[in-house]
Amino acid sequence: MSEEIGNMKQKARLALIMKTSKLRLWFYDTASRHLCYLSEAGNYEREYNPADFALFFHRDDVDHMRDVVFAICEGKMDTGKVSARSRADKESDCRHYEISFSVMSRGDDGLPTSLMAIQHDVTEEYQRQQKINELLARYHTIFNSSLLDMLYYDKNGVLTDLNERACKSFNVKSREQVLDGSFLLKNNPFYSQIPLNEMTNTLTGSIIDFRDFGLPEYRLEEFGLTGKMYYESTINPIRNDEGELEGVYMSGHDISEMVNSYHRLQNGLKQLQQGTDSIKQYIANIDYALSVSGVQLVNYYPHSYTFELINRESKKRLCMSQLRCIRLATPRFRRTVNSVLNRMDHLTTRGIVQAIEIEIRDKKGRQIWLLFNMVPMLNEKGEVERYFGTYRDITDVVETEQRLAVETKKAQETEVLKQAFLTNMSYEIRTPLNNIIGYAGLFTGDHDQSDEPFFIDQIKNSTNELLLVVNDILYISRLEANMEEYKKVPVDFAFNFEGYCQNALSSIKPGVQPVVVQPYNKLVVDIDSSHLAMVIQRLCYFACVMTEHGSITVSYEYHRGELTIRIEDTGSGFTEEVAPHIFDHNFARNANGELIGSGLDLPIAQLLTKQMGGTIEIQSDYGKGTSVWVSIPCTASEIEKKRV
């Protein structure tokens, strides 16, 4: 009880200190990313999420605070300070704060688990500083408003005052540096020959060499007064009624820039001549670039209806009438050429860009395409005088675009096939999944216990069907992403062939005769045995599903670097409409509409064959059977054929 009372007293003292010091404490939890204030009573207020907390402050300052908090949480810094403004509609209603961040606790990994922030209201100090800055700005504006350097010497010729402009001209960092009594008027080389009491109003202009001021070298270096300055000044002595000198007022300004401008003007004239020569060279370079790039110049004169082609390389000009221009274009572009000429005849002020196919053919026998780019040229009255532009041969570009259009169409067709595959895939996955959910739901309702084995069998069958479809979808996706690795090793294909066939034909239906033709005693070839076995297995399984009676024959032959496997069946086959799309990802079905395996056996077999560098062909006669040929390139190291 006493410890609780002590904590309450500590919180009360902390709240009193915060209130008198215009401070607020708030805490940040790194795990929940929530913040809470410590109230004036010393208790925690409600928690704020980052979005709600950000409403208290100006948007730009919230971003700065977030960066500091994240830096501390990531261990990049231990403390941080941010200046922030409260969010207000008017700038005058805005409060200003200084917020100091520090780590309150750390986790076992040494990273902060909570942060403490001290928020200090500095609005009054900020407003006070703003008023001071405004007064200083007004004072400096008046003080430095003079466009001349102003210096004042007392009656003894000692410099006692100068304005900011004079400080800048003479590189004075601080006025106190020169108002120490060491700068005398008699040391000024402009007026050193004139006795102080005999000075009159004088205007002079000369070159200042600061070494003539009689100051030590270290003093000149201290002020940076090195080199020379062109300076124009006026001296005005101030006398009382008795004619006694009371002081000397000196004004002037640095005319070094004016003198330097004159020098630059002289240099500019020289550079102008050099620039003229450069322009001539530039024009020559443009002519060369035009000739190399095949770009030619063209003019059209709407008042004379004349089209002029300019060859800058040969300096030749070819003039053509409108009728000749129209006839030069191919028939399908003659109306376009007529429209362009008509627009220019009506003095359009817009530029014209037009590609035109002409009757002339290039060396490759292709119809030439020209791209014209015309702009209006105006006279002094702002009226269109002629049209100037360029034209270039874009036959290669047009041919490339046409090829690209064909390839784009093919890609779009492929995309349509993929979309159809995704739609079918969604359906084929949903069908067995609905069966599983449906039969599983029957267990929870009223049912006869004798039906439960049937429900379980249906769930198992649908689960196996779903697993088969999903596995094949994943595998065909892996093949399409080229993620499957293929390794060719020497394998006795004759020894393994019958094993491949027995595994592949294990699901053959009763009444169907399996026939395995083995023409070799030994055939050692470098192939990827496991992937080729998968191709044979899927094609044989497909034949087993499609064949209700008759036979399935599997044979192979090696000839001139190619191993060819043939699978023939006497099954139902495919119609002429279905056969061309049998390898598409459309989930193959039999004549009864039932899914053949996963429906993806043929597409998977095709992808595997192609990625092994081989080819696959299929020929089907509806109602009579199907034949599939798989050819794999390989090299045989040992061949031993059976004797007939």
Contact call for residues 188 and 170 (beta carbons, < 8 A): no
- Domain end point (choices 476, 510, 528): 476
Q: Under DSSP, is residue 42 helix (H, G, I), strand (E, B) or coil?
A: coil
Contact call for residues 103 and 112 (beta carbons, < 8 A): yes
Residues 631 and 518 in one domain: yes
| Predicted pLDDT at 374 | 92
Average predicted confidence (pLDDT) for the chain: 80
Residues 154 and 111 in one domain: no
Per residue in 52-83, pLDDT (tens digit) is 888 888 888 888 888 888 888 888 888 888 88
Is the pLDDT confidence value at 409 over 90? no
What average pLDDT score do residues 42-51 get? 76
Q: Domain count of the chain? A: 5
Residues 6 and 79 in one domain: yes
| Predicted pLDDT at 511 | 87
* Tokens encoding 152: 């004042």
Q: What is the CATH number of the domain that holds 450?
A: 1.10.287.130
* Tokens encoding 617: 């062909």
Is the pLDDT confidence value at 252 over 70? yes
Q: What is the CATH number of the domain that holds 20?
A: 3.30.450.20
| Predicted pLDDT at 417 | 53
Helix axes of 529-546 and 493-504: crossing angle, nearest 10 degrees: 40
| Predicted pLDDT at 139 | 44
Residues 373 and 405 in one domain: no
The answer to whether position 443 is within a domain reads yes
The answer to whether position 279 is within a domain reads no
* Order of all β-strands in the sheet with 550-558: 512-516, 550-558, 562-569, 625-633, 615-621
| Predicted pLDDT at 183 | 78
The answer to whether position 607 is within a domain reads yes
- Length of the chain as a residue count: 644
Is the pLDDT confidence value at 3 over 60? no
Distance from C-alpha of 335 to C-alpha of 340, rounded to nearest angstrom: 9
Residues 405 and 462 in one domain: yes
The answer to whether position 340 is within a domain reads yes
Contact call for residues 610 and 626 (beta carbons, < 8 A): no
Per residue in 224-248, pLDDT (tens digit) is 555 667 778 888 888 887 888 888 8
Out of 38-52, 205-219, 432-446, 544-558, least confident range = 205-219
| Predicted pLDDT at 554 | 93
Q: How many CA atoms lie within 13 A of 502 on its CB side?
A: 6
DSSP state of 481: T
Residues 24 and 62 in one domain: yes
Residues 519 and 415 in one domain: no
Q: pLDDT band at 424, cuts 50/70/90?
A: low
Q: pLDDT band at 143, cuts 50/70/90?
A: very low
| Predicted pLDDT at 584 | 63
The answer to whether position 138 is within a domain reads no
Q: pLDDT band at 315, cuts 50/70/90?
A: low
Q: What is the CATH number of the domain that holds 620?
A: 3.30.565.10
Considering Cα of 564, then 570, then 576, then 580, what sign does the dihedral take? negative
Residues 460 and 489 in one domain: no
CA 334 to chain CA centroid, nearest Å: 43
With CA atoms as reference, report the closest residue to 229 among 196, 182, 190: 190
User: Which residue shows structure tokens 């010729």?
Assistant: 157
With CA atoms as reference, report the closest residue to 158 among 180, 177, 176: 180
The answer to whether position 149 is within a domain reads yes
Residues 78 and 152 in one domain: no
State which residues form the domain around 249: 144-254
Residues 305 and 423 in one domain: no
Tell me the pairing of strands 316-321 and 202-209. unpaired
Strands (E), 394-510: 489-492
Is the pLDDT confidence value at 291 over 70? no
The answer to whether position 134 is within a domain reads no
Q: pLDDT band at 1, cuts 50/70/90?
A: very low
